[in-house]
Amino acid sequence: MSQIQREQLKVVAERAILVAVVLPDTYVDAQDRFAELRALTETAGATVVGELVQKRRKPTVRTYLGKGKVLELAGLAKMTEATLIIFDCDLSPGQIRNLEETVECKIIDRSELILDIFANRASTLAARLQVEIAQLEYTYPRLKAMWDHLGQVVGGAPIGIGTRGPGEQQLEIDRRLVQRRRRQLQRELEGIQQRKTREVQQRRLDHYTVGLVGYTNAGKSTLFNQLTAGGAFAHAKLFATLGTRLERCDLGGGNHVILSDTVGFIRDLPHHLIASFRSTLEETVYAHLLVIVQDVSDPNAQMQLEVVNRTLDEIGATEQPRIVVLNKMDLLEKPSDLLVWLNRLPEAIPISAAKGEGIDQLRDWLSLHMLGGEKEVSITIPLTDSRSISFLEQRAKVLTREYGSEEVILQVLIGRRHIDQLLAQGAQMRINGISPLEAVKAIWNDDPEEIVATRIPPHER
Ligand SMILES: Nc1nc2c(ncn2[C@@H]2O[C@H](COP(=O)(O)OP(=O)(O)OP(=O)(O)O)[C@@H](O)[C@H]2O)c(=O)[nH]1
Ligand SMILES: [Mg+2]
């Protein structure tokens, strides 16, 4: 293969053939094996000109596909004038080399395709750094040579997909350059990340935060726009959102939550990408509540929900409750399909983010969660703490007031969250005659917010 071809490994405007191997434990919908890979390919800007599937018990070491199938692929590539072959799995550097020799066409794998999409979409500095680190980490073991143009990369432009270079001789120099570049990016990113962690934790104390999460294209940004003043980019393409957006979501009665919309998850997300997207996912990890948006009209919905739950576990978002909203219910052909979901997840809320259905119910639900269960208690506050008294008058339902010369006793209907906020602003109060910490434990059977801070892993505090 010529060097010129090798250096133009961009997916955009390519004619692509998609290849999948169905193994016995393959869990993707068999009816349309290529639905997701096709969508990813088109999102990257290429045109699909052919598809090839092989059923095997296990992949071959040399070329992943069997020998005969590799020849069939070479024939198909010639016939369709394909310029790119995309495998729906991860390939080893050796497999890529062997395949390219026989098929005489660029070969990339699923992770490289996803990285390429991320590289093209990254618009914030943090996202660009994160993608570039992930590319260096993923591409690094595949390097032969090609870092002589690293000068261009230093400007911050992400390196192109499949930039596994042509020669062998420069390998050692290249490795050192890559390492140096990676350390430099890592340092920049760490600076951003530390600021971010502080910001997120402060926000968590000041507000109740809700993270929208879900598989890519599930409708997170559409729902975000419904619940807030809007402004998030919602699009039929995969990975329309790569950063995190925050917006206030009013719930009525003077209450609000801070809602975040973030990057979508996908099966087999390159793990370097998860690691380096950590700062983007920070809002999610520390949110008080996670709302999983699931597209129930997708044939692979069940698998997607499993991927989302697993990814949340992987990034350490395990402390908060997760609720599921069953989105795109307007696209379900049979209403009974919804019942199947509700049987399995009785707490889930059916919605259509696009049509605005079920949104009020979701708002009520968020309110309930935010307030953490309203209880009737008596709160005793010194009259000098006027800030706390006016907070209670505005936010809680005050049933009776009993003024003394130095204190007031308010009988109120109040949620746990409001107690947290009062404590965070330094309220001097007793609840039911005892200390607020003991009262929260006794009444809500839970620890107050200050104690939550100790649940954050020590290395991130
Ligand atoms: N019919 C229908 N379409 C919807 C609904 N919600 C979202 N969509 C469409 O689904 C597509 C994806 O929506 P987004 O809101 O961009 O999805 P996302 O989860 O933010 O996607 P990423 O940012 O790419 O992860 C868009 O074309 C939306 O118009 C819905 O309730 N019904
Ligand atoms: Mg989005």
Does 321 map to a domain? yes
CA distance 361 to 350: 9
- Tell me: do 218 and 344 sit in the same domain: yes
* CA of 422 relative to ligand 2 center, distance in Å: 34
Does 109 map to a domain? yes
Tokens linked to 386: 């006027």
- Tell me: do 107 and 221 sit in the same domain: no
Ligand 1 atom 5 nearest Cα: 354
Q: Is the pLDDT of residue 151 over 60?
A: no
* CA of 207 relative to ligand 1 center, distance in Å: 27
Answer with the one of 116, 135, 167 that is the final residue of a domain: 116
- Tell me: do 410 and 353 sit in the same domain: no
Answer with the one of 116, 139, 174 that is the final residue of a domain: 116
Does 13 map to a domain? yes
Cα-to-chain-centroid distance, residue 434: 42
Does 201 map to a domain? no
CA distance 57 to 21: 9
Does 196 map to a domain? no
Q: Is the pLDDT of residue 169 over 60?
A: no
Structural contact between residues 279 and 196, judged by C-beta atoms closer than 8 angstroms: yes
Q: Is the pLDDT of residue 10 over 60?
A: no
Does 343 map to a domain? yes
Average pLDDT of every residue of the chain: 81
Domain of residue 69, CATH code: 3.40.50.11060
Given this model, what pLDDT does residue 8 score? 43
- Tell me: do 227 and 260 sit in the same domain: yes
Does 202 map to a domain? no
* CA of 224 relative to ligand 2 center, distance in Å: 9
Name the pLDDT band for 292 (thresholds 50, 70, 90): very high
CA atoms within a 13 Å half-sphere pointing along the CA-CB vector of 316: 16
321 secondary structure, DSSP code: -
Ligand 1 atom, smallest distance to 224 CA = 15
- Tell me: do 363 and 404 sit in the same domain: no
Domain of residue 411, CATH code: 3.30.70
What is the phi/psi pair of residue 15, to 5°? -100, 115
Residue 443 structural domain: 372-454
- Tell me: do 16 and 99 sit in the same domain: yes
- Tell me: do 407 and 438 sit in the same domain: yes
191-231: pLDDT as tens digits: 888 887 888 877 777 788 999 999 999 999 999 999 987 66
Count the neighbouring beta carbons within 10 Å of the beta carbon of residue 118.
Answer: 25
Q: Of 56-65, 382-391, 417-426, where does mean pLDDT reach its minimum? A: 417-426
Task: Tell me which of 36, 43, 222 to substitute to probe ligand 1's pocket, judged by most ligand atoms within 8 Å of the beta carbon.
Answer: 222
- Tell me: do 219 and 364 sit in the same domain: yes
Q: Is the pLDDT of residue 460 over 90?
A: no
Tokens linked to 119: 């590289």
- Tell me: do 51 and 81 sit in the same domain: yes
Count the neighbouring beta carbons within 10 Å of the beta carbon of residue 69.
Answer: 18
Domain of residue 293, CATH code: 3.40.50.300
- Tell me: do 262 and 376 sit in the same domain: no
Structural contact between residues 132 and 187, judged by C-beta atoms closer than 8 angstroms: no
- Tell me: do 257 and 353 sit in the same domain: yes
* CA of 365 relative to ligand 1 center, distance in Å: 22
Indicate whether residue 220 lines ligand 1 (CB < 6 A). yes
Helix/strand/coil for 181: helix
- Tell me: do 282 and 422 sit in the same domain: no
Answer with the one of 79, 97, 116 that is the final residue of a domain: 116
Name the pLDDT band for 152 (thresholds 50, 70, 90): very low
* CA of 264 relative to ligand 2 center, distance in Å: 7
Domain count, the chain: 4
Ligand 1 atom 2 nearest Cα: 328
Indicate whether residue 222 lines ligand 1 (CB < 6 A). yes
Given this model, what pLDDT does residue 90 score? 87
What is the phi/psi pair of residue 101, to 5°? -60, -45
Interhelix angle for 386-395 vs 416-424, to 10°?
160
Cβ-in-10-Å burial (0-12, 13-18, 19+) of 329 comes to buried
CA distance 121 to 211: 21
38-79: pLDDT as tens digits: 999 998 889 999 999 998 899 999 999 999 999 999 999 999
Given this model, what pLDDT does residue 449 score? 52
CA distance 286 to 420: 16
Does 163 map to a domain? yes
CA distance 132 to 119: 7
